[in-house]
Amino acid sequence: MFQKFTEKAITAVKDSQISAIELGHNKIYPEHLLWALSKKTNELGAKILKMNHASSDNIKEAILEVLKDKEVSKPVTSVLFSNRIRRVFQKAYEIASENGNGFVKTEHLFYVLLCTDISGLDKLFNQLYLDSVKVREIMKKIVEKKSKQKDKHPENTETKETDDKYNHILSIVKDEESASVFSRAVAKLTTSEYEILGTEQIMLSILEDENCGLADTLKQSGITSDSFNEKLKQITSRLDEYEDKQIIFTPNALTALINASDTARELGSTSVKPEHIVLGILKSKKGIAYKILNELYPNHRLMEKILKPLEKQMNETPVILRFANQEARRLGRHTVGTELILLGIMLQGSGVGYTVLKDLGITVQDLRTVTEQILGTNEEYIDKDITYTPRAKSVLEIAWKLAKKEMKVKIYSEHLLEAIVSLPDSLAMKVLTGLGTDELEIKQGIRNKIKS
């Protein structure tokens, strides 16, 4: 269900988990969610509560009284969802769907907590001396009014990005190279007390496949299923899995898998392999699996060891992106846009993409000149990690889809070039238009080269 929550709503769920742990409760109740939401001072629901003398501090005091029988004597390190909070999530989803929203937002959670009997918060409201009738009337008007409005940016963008990320994760889970990894990881999840898949289950599943080359590479570094399991037994809290935002998996597992998906594309692969998943965990630099890997092999060269066998299988795409990164440094920038991927295709010096551009009379110098006119240059050295603009990421995503459609196992320069021209508002197309060429010429050139 959480894949249909906006990131703000997911954050509220995560905060309610932390609230339960802070108060010494081993389950999450609607009271914890209300307290977490009341701290979001920019939210209308929180403002309504405060106007009615229900501040976050007052709510905390009331919760301690109402849920005093829920406290446990030993320190709480992990919590589960109560049946009451599950009903709240389900009702919020139903209300969002009825109102024509694709995603559950924070106002839907507020609405269920304040305006329905499902949450069972009457005792808390009495403790707060809250005029629940008055609060319900105000909250109903807000939700009904918002349901009639068309979603505007950035909320619409937020939900789209959430949905896109979810689809990316689904593609990884279903991918032939990684499907068995997740089958084993889910099996491990069902035998544990946890309900959300984390990096530790994914990592352990990879390590147990002793027939793959990756397991041998990790074994040489002293990382085996036994050593990982031994470290895992010492972990008593899952809080390291909740440092960011959650969709289906724990937030850090989601981050690691999105990194894995991005890494596969950057390495020119049309499938996400277990190697990419481990690289994604290492790139995220957080979560239980990362902590254990860092303890078992602390010299920070594990990523290099995993990349080495992959480099033998690399094609032109990683080379193109490496040139794009170099051009960004040359221009004194730390961001790669579509224009620098275009320049990378020319600098790579071979492949269909390069040949098509060359036949159109385009040179590296031409591209550099127009790019510098648009971007300018910076003499200062930029000591930052290179990042990709959203449109540059879109180019990689579109190129990946084009390669998959052609049943290719790798992304080639022609896929990158065709992806570029499919984004008419991109900076790369502005550069190409400035050099006197257009989308039709380039697409026809690609078709001609592939046929010949």
- Given a cut of 50, whether residue 48 has pLDDT beyond it is yes
- Model confidence over 423-434: pLDDT tens digits? 888 899 989 988
- What's residue 245's pLDDT? 39
- Model confidence over 65-80: pLDDT tens digits? 888 888 776 666 677 8
140 in the same domain as 50: yes
CA–CA dist 284, 375 (Å, integer): 30
- What's residue 191's pLDDT? 63
Q: Band of the pLDDT at 358, cuts 50, 70, 90?
A: very high
- Given a cut of 70, whether residue 1 has pLDDT beyond it is no
Task: Tell me which H or E stretch contains 172.
Answer: helix 155-174
Residue pair 181/202 in contact by the 8 Å Cβ criterion = yes
336 in the same domain as 251: no
- Given a cut of 80, whether residue 417 has pLDDT beyond it is yes
- Given a cut of 70, whether residue 228 has pLDDT beyond it is yes
Which CATH number covers residue 442? 1.10.1780.10
Q: Which of 311, 329, 364 is at the close of a domain? A: 311
CA–CA dist 359, 127 (Å, integer): 77
Residue-wise over 298-335: b if at least 16 C-beta within 10 A, else e?
eeeebeeebeeebeeeebbbbbbbbbbbbbbeebebee
Q: Band of the pLDDT at 150, cuts 50, 70, 90?
A: very low
Q: Which of 294, 311, 328 is at the close of a domain? A: 311
81 in the same domain as 171: no
399 in the same domain as 357: yes
- What's residue 194's pLDDT? 61
Q: How far apart are the first and last CA of the chain?
A: 49
Quick one: tokens of 256?
């690691």
251 in the same domain as 332: no
Domain count, the chain: 3
307 in the same domain as 220: yes
Q: Band of the pLDDT at 185, cuts 50, 70, 90?
A: confident
Mean pLDDT for the chain overall: 80
279 in the same domain as 339: no
Using a pLDDT cut of 90, give the percent of the chain over it. 16
Average pLDDT of span 219-235? 86
145 in the same domain as 175: no
Q: Which of 283, 311, 339 is at the close of a domain? A: 311
332 in the same domain as 442: yes
- What's residue 247's pLDDT? 36
Average pLDDT of span 402-407? 90
261 in the same domain as 203: yes
123 in the same domain as 186: no
299 in the same domain as 357: no
**Nearest CA-CA partner of 364 in 380, 347, 377, 348:** 347
pTM, 2 dp: 0.48
| 3-class DSSP state of 71 | strand
Alpha-helical segments (H) within 234-315: 251-266, 274-284, 288-296, 302-311
Quick one: tokens of 253?
């597992």
**Domain of 299, in residue numbers:** 157-311
Residue pair 70/77 in contact by the 8 Å Cβ criterion = no
